[in-house]
Chains A and B, each alone.
Chain A
C-alpha cells in the first residue's frame, strides 16, 4: 500500500486552533515497549520515519557508492495526542540501538525530556540509554514496563540496579494500557515541573 494520503483525509490534521506542540521522547532498551506506549497514547495511527545515516567521515563520496562507506538506518516512530484546543503532544519512540549518531540531535531538539522504559528482565540493557541521556544532560525519568512474568523488585532495588540518582522519578506502567501510560507520563511531567528542569532548553 502506498503511504500517500489524499488531501481529503481530514482526520489526520490537527484542529486549526492548535498553535503549540510539545515533545516527549519515549526511550529504552530494545523491546522495552516504546512503540507500544506511543501507540497506546496516540490519537493517530503511529507513524514511522527513517533516516539514512552515512557513518564514514569522508563526506560526499560516501554516497557515490565507493567501497568502505557505512550506511545505517535510524528509524523512529511517533504518535500525537491533542491535549487542548491549543496544544498537541508528540511522543517520539527513540531508535532501539541507543548509540548516539548526529541524527539524535533532531530528536533531542526541543524535547521536554525522555521517559525511559525498562523491563526488569533486562535491567542491565538500560545502561547505554541512561548513559546517552546523562551525558547529554536531557532530563529523564524511568518507568518500569511491567511485563507479566517479569520479576517484581522494590523501587529501591531498581533504583540501585540502574544507579539512578535519588531525585530521578521512577514509576511503572503497562505500556499496552492507555490510562496507565498516561499516568506514567504525568509522573514524569510532574517531576520536570517540580524540579523546573528546563535549563537544557536554553
Chain B
C-alpha cells in the first residue's frame, strides 16, 4: 500500500502561496512545541487533519514536518493556521531564548555528562 504520503499538488499549492501567506504568527519556529487542543475537527482540510492526528502529545513543528513528510515551510503554515483556530496549543509563548535558557541547557547537558 502506498500510504498517505504527501500529495505533490497540495505541496505545490502551499509553496505557491508562500510568498503571500507566511505563517500568521510571529515567532513561530521549527522548534516551537505544539499539541492538540480538545476541539472538533470538522471542516479541517486533509493536511490539517494529518497534523492534528499526530499531535496527540507535545512535538516540535520540525518533528511534525518530518513525520508527515511535509516540507518544513508547509508545516509552519499548517500549524500556524491550527494555532489561530485553537485546534493546537503551544505550551509556552514562542519567545526568543534568553540567558536562562542557556543556563537550563548547560545544567541539563552537565547532568548527562556525569551519569
Q: Which residues of A contact B (CB under 8 A)?
A: 2-5, 7, 10, 12-16, 18-24, 47-52, 54, 59-60, 63, 78, 80-81, 83-84, 86-90, 92, 103, 106-107, 109-110, 112, 179, 182-183, 185-186, 189-190, 192-193, 196, 198, 201-202
Contact = CB atoms under 8 A, between A and B. Distances in A.
A84 B96 contact: no
A53 to B, nearest CB: 10
B109 A21 contact: no
Given A4-B68, A78-B62, 5 more contacts: A13-B56, A78-B66, A89-B108, A92-B30, A190-B106
Contacts of A3: 5, 66-69
A179 B19 CA distance: 43
Given A3-B67, A12-B63, A83-B109, A198 B91 contact: no
B24 interface: no
Chain A's interface: helix, strand, loop or mixed, by majority?
A: mixed
Nearest to B108: A83
Interface of B: 1-5, 11-12, 15-16, 19, 29-33, 53-54, 56-60, 62-63, 65-73, 76, 91-92, 96-99, 101-113
B73 A106 contact: yes
A18 B91 contact: yes
A14 B71 CA distance: 22
Given A2-B5, A83-B108, A87-B104, A47 B63 contact: yes
B96 A12 contact: no
Contacts of A4: 3-4, 67-69
15 contacts: A20-B104, A24-B105, A47-B66, A51-B71, A78-B62, A81-B108, A84-B104, A84-B108, A87-B105, A90-B30, A112-B101, A179-B113, A186-B113, A189-B106, A193-B99
Contacts of A112: 97, 101-102, 105
A112 to B, nearest CB: 6
Contacts of A88: 33, 60
B112 A182 contact: yes
Nearest to B94: A110
B62 A60 contact: no
A110 B74 CA distance: 18
Contacts of B73: 51, 103, 106
